[in-house]
């Protein structure tokens, strides 16, 4: 079995437990903000007298551009700097921006606030996944990242329920304020509790971290693009996000139009079946992978490819179901399998690259998937719904969504191609990490071994 030469693979749980707990909470609040905006769009539209086009800009391309664009420079910083400080700073930024949303009085003000939210949220996942990958070995990484990705289904459950009821009783302004407030406290906790393994005793950067020059950005892009497995995974993420975001943004409207559901009822059903199914699937995907295929990335990707194909079929069935109870049961089954893919996919994206490119590797993936998926997926569904309207009437949205589902087979093809090269590419990444470890030893940097994370304060030296 290969182990990461620079990764402590049996660090005591007492040191790693706070990492995942805090990271899951931060990721959940990251997604809760987006879910909250979707739930309160109608009252915002009424109060600020906005058009649907303006609402589309707030939820789509405007937010996606800043979220995607800022992810690259922040990830560049994360590959060299103190990731704990980056996570705490960006978490505090987007939390404050969400709270300020409560005070806006115009479209331009809300747009500016959403820009700051996007910049803050862009710093969350690249730095977090890079940090988690340094704390956990290759064999443990899938389980750890799957547990981190539980933040999404937790947000689906808590966000839909909390935002829906807060808006109903207190209005959208207080909803934004109360959603943002707890995460400011989490940002402070992250800053003081989490440990940056790049820092030695008393928070002093170890020699290699302090002096090694960063890889030129064009070289980073070139190295990642030459990695065949990474290339196919990045394209899988991009197309998956395009079809998923397109469907997800219109999902509430579909159930309201086609099944006559009220928003409160809809939020409860979504929390139970969508949130619960994704939560269980993500957890089981990480646990089963860690138990039966911890270092067999080829088998992981083959299984994920099969799950994507099943997801395509079940998702189409959801929107063709004659009644909403059956639709939600099918939705729960679909996201159970879809959630199981989270851990293996994100873990593979980290294992395939050297530690100094891990944040950039996920930032590039998120750049494409968020810019294309979040920016244009919902637009395509809306356009198709308008095209189908003369023929399908009020059911046009149903068939527009169904028309998106075959796209998941495209993702399946990229996953199958990735499975054919992943073993070779992972071995190459392991050799590069070994060479990096050897260089660190020659440079006089103490190698981090199991259970030897730096003790004492780790924030004395800021990046």
Q: What is the pLDDT of residues 42-86, one digit of tens each?
A: 788 788 887 766 776 777 676 777 777 777 788 878 877 788 888
- Output the pLDDT for position 222: 85
Bigger pLDDT: 138 vs 211? 138
Alpha-carbon span 4 to 355, nearest angstrom:
9
Q: What pLDDT does residue 441 have?
A: 55
Domain presence at residue 410: yes
* pLDDT of the residue at 14: 41
* Residue of 273, 252, 234 lying closest to 373 (CA atoms): 234
With vertex at residue 374, the alpha carbon angle to CA 369 and CA 377, rounded to the nearest 5 degrees, is: 100
Structure tokens at 164: 């829906």
Query: How do residues 285-303 score in pLDDT, each as one tens digit?
Result: 888 988 888 888 999 999 9
* CATH code for the domain of 425: 1.20.1250.20
In 3-state terms the chain splits into helix, strand, coil percentages (rounded to 5) of 80, 0, 20
pLDDT at 437: 60
Contact between 277 and 335 (Cβ < 8 Å): yes
CA atoms within 13 A on the CB side of 421: 16
Q: Residue 218: enclosing H or E segment and its boundaries? A: helix 217-226
* Both tokens assigned to 192: 């003081």
Name 331's Cβ contacts closer than 8 Å, sequence gap at least 6.
Answer: 273, 274, 277, 314, 318
Query: Quick one: pLDDT at residue 270?
Result: 87
Mean predicted confidence (pLDDT) in 223-238:
91
**Angstrom distance (rounded) from CA 345 to CA 234:** 10
5 found inside a domain = no
Number of H helices, E strands in the chain: 22, 0
- pLDDT for res 457: 31
Residue 274 — φ and ψ, nearest 5°?
A: -70, -55
What is the phi/psi pair of residue 125, to 5°? Answer: -75, -45
**pLDDT tens digits along 231-287:** 999 999 999 999 998 888 788 878 888 898 877 788 788 889 998 999 999 899 888
307 vs 455: CA distance, rounded Å:
43
Residue 455 lies in a domain: no
Please state, rounded to an integer, the average pLDDT across all residues of the chain: 80
Q: Rounded to 5 degrees, what angle do the CA atoms 349, 74, 117 make?
A: 105
Question: Could you give the CA distance from residue 82 to residue 76 in angstroms, rounded to a whole number?
Answer: 11
What's the rounded mean pLDDT across residues 135-139? 81
> What confidence score (pLDDT) does residue 444 get?
52
Does the residue 333 lie in any domain? yes
Q: Is residue 456 part of a domain?
A: no
Give the C-alpha distances (Å, rounded to integers) separating 365 from 26, 202, 325, 453: 20, 35, 35, 29
Would you put residue 4 in left (φ > 0), alpha (ψ -120 to 50) or beta?
beta
> Residues 366, 69: contact at Cβ < 8 Å?
no
Say what the pLDDT of residue 438 is.
Answer: 60
> pLDDT value at position 463?
32
DSSP run (H or E) holding 42 = helix 41-48
Q: Which residues contact 414 (CB under 8 A, 6 or more apart)?
A: 232, 233, 235, 236, 239
Instruction: Indicate whether 177 belongs to any domain.
Output: yes
Nearest to 124 by CA among 153, 151, 143: 151
Q: Residue 92 in contact with residue 40, Cβ under 8 Å?
A: no
Chain segment 368-401, per-residue pLDDT in tens: 888 888 778 887 888 888 888 899 888 988 999 9
The token pair at 206 is 């170890």
Among the listed ranges 220-224, 360-364, 443-447, which one has the minimum average pLDDT value?
443-447
- Look at the block and give the residue holding tokens 């890079």: 130
pLDDT at 143: 84
Q: How long, in residues, is the chain?
A: 463
Residue 1 within any structural domain of the chain = no
pLDDT > 90: what percent of the chain?
Answer: 22
CA distance 361 to 79: 10
CA-CA distance, 187 to 90, in Å (whole number)? 8
Task: Calculate the CA 453 to chain-centre distance.
Answer: 27
CA distance 332 to 255: 15
Number of domains in the chain: 1
Residue 383, domain extent: 13-442
pTM for the model = 0.75
In a domain, 180, yes or no: yes
């Amino acid at each position: 079995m290969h182990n990461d030469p620079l990764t402590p693979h049996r660090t005591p749980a007492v040191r790693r437990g706070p990492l995942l707990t805090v990271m899951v909470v931060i990721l959940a609040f990251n997604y809760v903000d987006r879910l909250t905006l979707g739930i309160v769009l109608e009252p915002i539209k009424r109060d600020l007298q906005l058009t649907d086009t303006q609402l589309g800009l707030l939820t789509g391309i405007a937010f996606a551009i800043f979220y995607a664009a800022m992810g690259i420079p922040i990830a560049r910083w994360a590959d060299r700097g103190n990731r704990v400080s980056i996570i705490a700073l960006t978490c505090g930024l987007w939390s404050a921006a969400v709270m300020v949303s409560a005070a806006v009085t115009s479209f331009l003000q809300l747009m500016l606030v959403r820009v700051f939210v996007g910049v803050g949220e862009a710093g969350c996942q690249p730095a977090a996944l890079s940090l988690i990958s340094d704390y956990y070995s290759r064999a443990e990484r899938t389980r750890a990242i799957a547990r981190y990705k539980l933040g999404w289904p937790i947000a689906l459950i808590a966000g839909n329920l909390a935002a829906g009821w807060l808006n109903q009783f207190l209005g959208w302004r207080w909803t934004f304020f109360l959603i943002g407030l707890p995460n400011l406290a989490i940002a402070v906790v992250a800053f003081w509790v989490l440990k940056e393994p790049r820092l030695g005793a008393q928070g002093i950067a170890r020699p290699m971290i302090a002096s090694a020059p960063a890889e030129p950005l064009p070289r980073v892009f070139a190295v990642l693009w030459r990695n065949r497995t990474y290339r196919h995974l990045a394209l899988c993420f991009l197309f998956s996000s395009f079809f998923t975001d397109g469907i997800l943004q219109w999902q509430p409207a579909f159930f309201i139009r086609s099944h006559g559901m009220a928003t409160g009822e809809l939020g409860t059903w979504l929390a139970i079946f969508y949130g619960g199914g994704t939560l269980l699937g993500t957890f089981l995907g990480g646990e089963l992978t860690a138990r039966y295929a911890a270092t067999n990335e080829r088998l992981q990707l083959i299984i994920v490819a099969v799950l994507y194909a099943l997801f395509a079929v079940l998702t189409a069935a959801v929107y063709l179901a004659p009644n909403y109870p059956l639709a939600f049961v099918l939705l729960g089954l679909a996201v159970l399998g879809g959630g199981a893919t989270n851990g293996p996919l994100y873990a593979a994206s980290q294992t395939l690259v050297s530690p100094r490119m891990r944040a950039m590797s996920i930032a590039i993936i998120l750049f494409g998937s968020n810019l294309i998926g979040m920016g244009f997926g919902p637009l395509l569904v809306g356009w198709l719904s308008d095209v189908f309207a003369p023929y399908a009437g009020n059911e046009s949205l149903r068939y527009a969504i169904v028309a998106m589902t075959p796209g998941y087979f495209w993702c399946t093809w990229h996953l199958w191609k990735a499975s054919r090269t992943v073993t070779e590419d992972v071995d190459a990444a392991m050799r590069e990490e070994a060479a990096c470890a050897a260089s660190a030893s020659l440079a006089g940097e103490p190698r981090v071994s199991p259970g030897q994370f730096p003790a004492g304060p780790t924030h004395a030296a800021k990046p």
